[in-house]
Structure 1
Amino acid sequence: MKEKSNRLIKQLYEEHKTYNPFLLAEKIGIEVMFVAFGKTPKGETVRFKQETLILLNESLIDKNERYFVLAHELYHAIEH
């Protein structure tokens, strides 16, 4: 799995010239929203028809952890 994720990261960087998951989501057409989940989950990927939406816990708005959580959810959105 590590090799697969490393290949995906390299491919996304080569295509979009950024590692920033917020910019990547925008460039590949995935909307990201902060929502009031309470304590959990930190993030969730939602699919409806042909659209993919990533929901992040609003508690992450000012935390660097939001980048990790979004990158994790982007992987799910792209690979599943």
Structure 2
Amino acid sequence: MTPAAQDEEDSGIHCRLDELLAARGMTLTQLSERVGVSIVNLSVLKNDRARAIRYSTLRAICDALQCEVGELLVLAPRA
């Protein structure tokens, strides 16, 4: 992979969805039902493969998890 392709793929943002779900005893399926977002799309976000997220989706996830955006999305440590 070229350096440019790597930069494009690695946003430097980490999604803590797994940790927040575990802390709240909630499954990805339950979150999907609460926010109206497919499990596939939530999985893409959870695995740090998302390239974008709508503010409305971000708000819905934060509301369902009772968290702030900064608890869900954090800067990943630089390699």
TM-score (norm: length of structure 1)? 0.32
More helix by share: 2
More strand by share: 1
Larger Rg: 2
TM-score (norm: length of structure 2)? 0.32
- Larger relative CO (CA 8 A, sep 6+): 1 or 2? 2
